[in-house]
Structure 1
Amino acid sequence: MRRAAAKKLRDNTTPHERLLWRALKELPMEGSHFRRQAPIGPYVVDFLCPAKRLIIELDGGHHNEDETAKRDYKRQLWLEKEGYRVIRFWNSEVTADLNSILERIYIELYQSRDAEAVRLKHTRR
């Protein structure tokens, strides 16, 4: 069921998700990649780099609403308990400053903006 939901989400991506997805495919990463709308446990995450267990979430304005924010928080705690790192960006950031977002993602992957992109290895847990 989660796979079907993930496929449906992939088929209906937002303009901000499409923009970030195209940019992520250009990010220098040897031997690994990002997946979009990836099922993890009971959730489907926007973007996942399995080799680094890094999740990227894009949030629209409705994520400011109390109930949505509570669900996001509960979801993030569960993902972090499972060993994932979650970074979040607002949709408006994707439009306004995509380069800064890509730099932050690169730093999350390689711990430094000046680090050389090395081969990332995905190991199943």
Structure 2
Amino acid sequence: MRDNEKLTIKQARRLRRTMTRAEVILWQHLRRRQLAGYRFRRQVPVGPFIADFACVDARLLVEVDGDTHSEDHQIAHDMRRTAFLQAKGWHVHRVWNNDVYDNLEGVLDGVLLQLRNQNVTEE
């Protein structure tokens, strides 16, 4: 294992312990196959990046974005990151913190729609 991979794994473990409030709320509904039987993992290393949530079977990443993601430099970074992840075969679904707080059911419906669009069998 390369040193940079070790660092990414170490950072992912740290992020699992320090998830944002919105990530904790969403995780409570994704974990243990609660969303139509789909299995999710949290804070998953993908190359040099760490995805908030991943359904490996569907190759779906769910990213929970806060206010900083609306700044120009962060938008550009997110676009480069998404392009990298898509090139690796992942589909990226972004949701806003506020939507998790104010419209959790809508967020979960959106994630479920993305999963079903990936043609993965529910278990």
| TM-score calculated relative to the size of structure 1 | 0.86
- Alignment partner, residue 114 of structure 1: none
C-alpha separation between the residues in 1 aligned to 2:99 and 2:55? 20
Unpaired stretches in structure 2, ≥5 consecutive residues? 1-6
Question: What percent of counterpart residues are identical?
Answer: 35
- Alignment partner, residue 4 of structure 2: none
More helix as a share of residues: 2
C-alpha separation between the residues in 1 aligned to 2:99 and 2:44? 22
C-alpha separation between the residues in 1 aligned to 2:88 and 2:105? 29
C-alpha separation between the residues in 2 aligned to 1:87 and 1:7? 22
- Alignment partner, residue 94 of structure 1: 100
| Shift, 1:90, TM fit | 0.6
Aligned residues: 113
Instruction: Report the RMSD for the aligned CA atoms in angstroms.
Output: 1.5
| TM-score calculated relative to the size of structure 2 | 0.87
Letter in 1 for 2:35: L
Unpaired stretches in structure 1, ≥5 consecutive residues? 112-116, 120-125
| Shift, 1:76, TM fit | 0.3
Give the match's secondary structure for 1:33.
coil
- Alignment partner, residue 122 of structure 1: none
Deviations 1:51-104 (A, max 9, x none): 000000010001111111111110000000111000101100000100011111
| Shift, 1:118, TM fit | 2.4
- Alignment partner, residue 52 of structure 1: 58
C-alpha separation between the residues in 2 aligned to 1:3 and 1:47? 14
C-alpha separation between the residues in 1 aligned to 2:116 and 2:76? 30
Letter in 1 for 2:51: V
Give the match's secondary structure for 2:64.
strand
C-alpha separation between the residues in 2 aligned to 1:118 and 1:76? 26
C-alpha separation between the residues in 2 aligned to 1:14 and 1:99? 19
